[in-house]
Amino acid sequence: MKRPLATDRIRPFTGIIFCASLCLFVAIQTGCAKRESAVALGNRTGVLHFSIGSEPTDLDPQIVTGIGEAKVIHALFEPLVSFDPRTLKPVPALAERWEISPDGLTYTFHLRADAVWSNGDPLTAQDCVDSWRRILTPSLGADYAYLFYVLRGAEDFHKGRTTDFATVGVAAPDAHTFVATLTHPAPYFLQILLNSPWRPVNVRRIAEFGNAYQRGTPWTRVGRIVTSGPFVLKEWTPHQRLVAEKSPTYWDLAHVYLNAIHFYPTDSVDAEERAFRAGQLHITYTLSLSKIAAYRRDHPALLRTDPYLNTYFFRFNTRRAPLDDERVRRALSLAIDRTAIAAKVLAGGQQPAPTLVPAATPGYTPPARPDRDLPVARRLLAEAGYPEGRGAPPLEILYNNSETIRLVAESIQEMWRRDLGLNVTLQNQEYKVVFANRRAGNFQILLSDWVGDYLDATTFLDLLRSDAGNNHTGWGDPAYDALLDRANATVDTSARAALLQQAEALMLDHAPIAPLYFNPHVYLIQPSVKNWHPNPMDHADYRYVRLEN
């Protein structure tokens, strides 16, 4: 598949709104009269205009799994601990200080007395207990609940082995003291608290609109949602924009520079780039592959390429033939020319990914794996009963609307047809539909990606645990789970890394997934945006961001 050439030069940037028959955002108006752009106005008034990719499926921190959704949630909900944007060193947020026991198992958080919910209610340690109980309650069906198994007793409670939440390692000895007890030392524990599922929610408020322990309770709508972060939700117009305004109840209100953030969902990277060029966006979610070279040449100050713990991969549904045969899955993986995809199809700084865990992950070296081995792939397919693809049922690749992953899917479709003789079709759907089908197992091969939630290999490897809510492949192996458990119980860092490496090698041998490429974060940003600091997990602390007029 030939990649579109980046030959068009970028037109000059102006404050004039482009005439168009279709408008991407509410802020873009038809007509050709000169007027102040959204960016220029936002610079004066402290309003950040930010694209977030696909339309959010929800704004419940304990339900959603998408990156775009998290960008909104991080503006609305405060974590216990935040981070210095330059060093990633933990800094106070809801907890003004904390202590860690000498054995690394007990974390005692001292909540600030001036922390309140957006409705004015005090935010207490019991709210934290209630929040973590909610995500661990089986009826909620939270995909991220397995992350909480690091807490003592959490796995037994979530799996229904006990209904006594007092056995779980969380406690509120008083209104401002919250204690978390772990099953094993986890040096990444403070980092993991930055992620959406760990941010406290107001369970009492949720219960006013239905069952707090069931999906679908409509508590995240405008006028109902109660939050704790620097911003509150004021508007949510589906497929157009979400507006978050500075919260008057936020404990650190005096140090929040922005007055509001306008989040824009869109599946079209071309429309997103046009909006940026027309002065309607400060920051894009990503950038079309066909535009990278032109921006690099003509407007390098607007182009950002940040390090990112992000792996793209195929999920194989191992419950469906012929993907229930490990030999077929391995053949498909080994037939992928990852170098060609990274260098020729994408050409935006991506790197071939023979493993799931990025090589840049601190303290970890992935197992050695070939980028491609076509002879072995053909042999495995023949051993499975499909020599040169004869007799093999058709396969389908499912992916969400995106120019980038469409190019990847088409390229691999052709590789499998040309080199393995397989009949492969493609199906693209909106992100919400793909997400629902992924959870329901309604797919054969799903083009997916994963961004590390913290700086440790387990943030990727735990994804394939037998009981992981984000697994969705149908594959599980007790030996794999046991290796990860042994790594968790190992204090020596070298021995721990070796166990994790052994686990990843075992998983790759069984091939419930096929890693494709490691992806940097390539996007556009206006020079008026200050204190926007990249980090490998793509977490944003909007308290630090300001706009220069």
What's the CATH code, domain 81-207? 3.90.76.10
Q: What is the pLDDT of residue 34?
A: 61
Q: What H or E segment, with its residue span, contains residue 436?
A: helix 431-440
Across the range 375-381, mean pLDDT stands at 98
Examine the pLDDT at 31 and tell me if it is beyond 60.
no
% of residues, the chain, pLDDT over 70: 94
Across the range 155-176, mean pLDDT stands at 97
Instruction: Sketch the domain layout of the chain as residue ranges.
Output: 38-54+230-307+522-547, 81-207, 310-519
**Residues 369, 373, 378, 382: is their CA dihedral positive or negative?**
negative
What is the band of 9 on the pLDDT scale with cuts at 50, 70, 90?
Answer: very low
Write down the pTM of the prediction.
Answer: 0.84
pLDDT tens for 118-142 read 999 999 999 999 999 999 999 999 9
Examine the pLDDT at 516 and tell me if it is beyond 80.
yes
Across the range 5-16, mean pLDDT stands at 32
Q: Report DSSP state, residue 161.
A: S
Q: Are 179 and 107 in contact, with CB atoms under 8 Å apart?
A: yes
Pick the closest to residue 340 from 290, 422, 269, 407 (CA basis): 407
Higher pLDDT, 484 or 18: 484
Least confident span in 9-13, 80-84, 288-292, 308-312? 9-13
Examine the pLDDT at 22 and tell me if it is beyond 70.
no
Q: CB atoms < 10 A from the CB of 211, how many? A: 12
Q: What is the pLDDT of residue 364?
A: 96
Place of tokens 């990444």: 188
Domains 81-207 and 310-519 share a fold: no
Biggest alpha carbon–alpha carbon distance for the chain = 69
Pick the closest to residue 446 from 323, 250, 342, 313 (CA basis): 313
Identify the architecture of domain 38-54+230-307+522-547 in CATH.
3-Layer(aba) Sandwich (3.40)
- In the chain, the amino acid numbered 517 is Y
Examine the pLDDT at 29 and tell me if it is beyond 90.
no
Q: What is the pLDDT of residue 40?
A: 97
- Name the CA dihedral angle for 167, 172, 174, 179, rounded to a multiple of 10 degrees: 110
- Name the CA dihedral angle for 489, 491, 497, 500, rounded to a multiple of 10 degrees: 0
Q: CA separation (Å) from 250 to 16, 42, 234, 322?
A: 36, 22, 15, 54
Q: If you classify domain 310-519 with CATH, what class do you get?
A: alpha beta
Separation CA 465–CA 182 (nearest Å): 19
Q: What is the pLDDT of residue 14?
A: 33
pLDDT tens for 288-336 read 888 998 999 999 999 999 988 999 999 999 999 999 999 999 999 999 9
Pick the closest to residue 313 from 366, 346, 355 (CA basis): 355
Residues in the chain: 549
Q: CB atoms < 10 A from the CB of 478, how many? A: 9
Token pair for residue 491? 């204090």
Across the range 376-392, mean pLDDT stands at 98
Pick the closest to residue 394 from 429, 421, 363 (CA basis): 421
Separation CA 437–CA 421 (nearest Å): 27
Q: Report DSSP state, residue 214.
A: S
User: Beta-strand (E) ranges in 158-249?
Assistant: 170-174, 177-181, 231-237, 241-246
Q: Report DSSP state, residue 196.
A: G
Q: CA separation (Å) from 9 to 5, 94, 289, 297, 399?
A: 11, 47, 14, 9, 30
Q: What is the pLDDT of residue 310?
A: 94
Place of tokens 């978050």: 244
Residue 382: is it exposed, middle or buried by C-beta count within 10 angstroms (0-12/13-18/19+)?
middle
Least confident span in 446-450, 471-475, 493-497, 539-543? 539-543
Place of tokens 């397995």: 146
Q: Are 529 and 43 in contact, with CB atoms under 8 Å apart?
A: no
